[in-house]
């Protein structure tokens, strides 16, 4: 399996990837714990710049049914 590059993860996070590429990245993240861990690191980095409140709300929000 070919792992995702850092660039791919960054572009995915920034939603800069074309839809086809995005789906490929998503599928890999579901299948690969290594890349998922790297992605979660990136997510944290990404959210550091934003308000804590917003991040917390995002993390603790439960889907309404
Ligand atoms: Zn991988």
CA of 41 to the centre of ligand 1 (A): 14
- Give pLDDT, residue 58: 64
Q: pTM of the prediction?
A: 0.67
Residues by chain with Cβ below 5 Å of ion ligand 1: 3, 32, 34-35
Tokens 């490929």 map to which residue?
24
Tens digits of residue pLDDT in 5-55: 999 999 999 999 999 999 999 999 999 999 999 999 998 887 776 655 665
Distance of alpha carbon 17 from alpha carbon 44, whole angstroms:
20
Q: Has residue 60 got a pLDDT over 80?
A: no
């Amino acid at each position: 399996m070919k792992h995702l590059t850092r660039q791919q993860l960054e572009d995915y996070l920034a939603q800069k990837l074309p839809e086809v590429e995005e789906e490929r990245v998503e599928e890999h993240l579901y299948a690969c714990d290594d890349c998922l861990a790297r992605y979660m690191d990136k997510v944290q980095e990404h959210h550091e710049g934003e308000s804590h409140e917003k991040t917390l709300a995002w993390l603790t929000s439960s889907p309404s049914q």
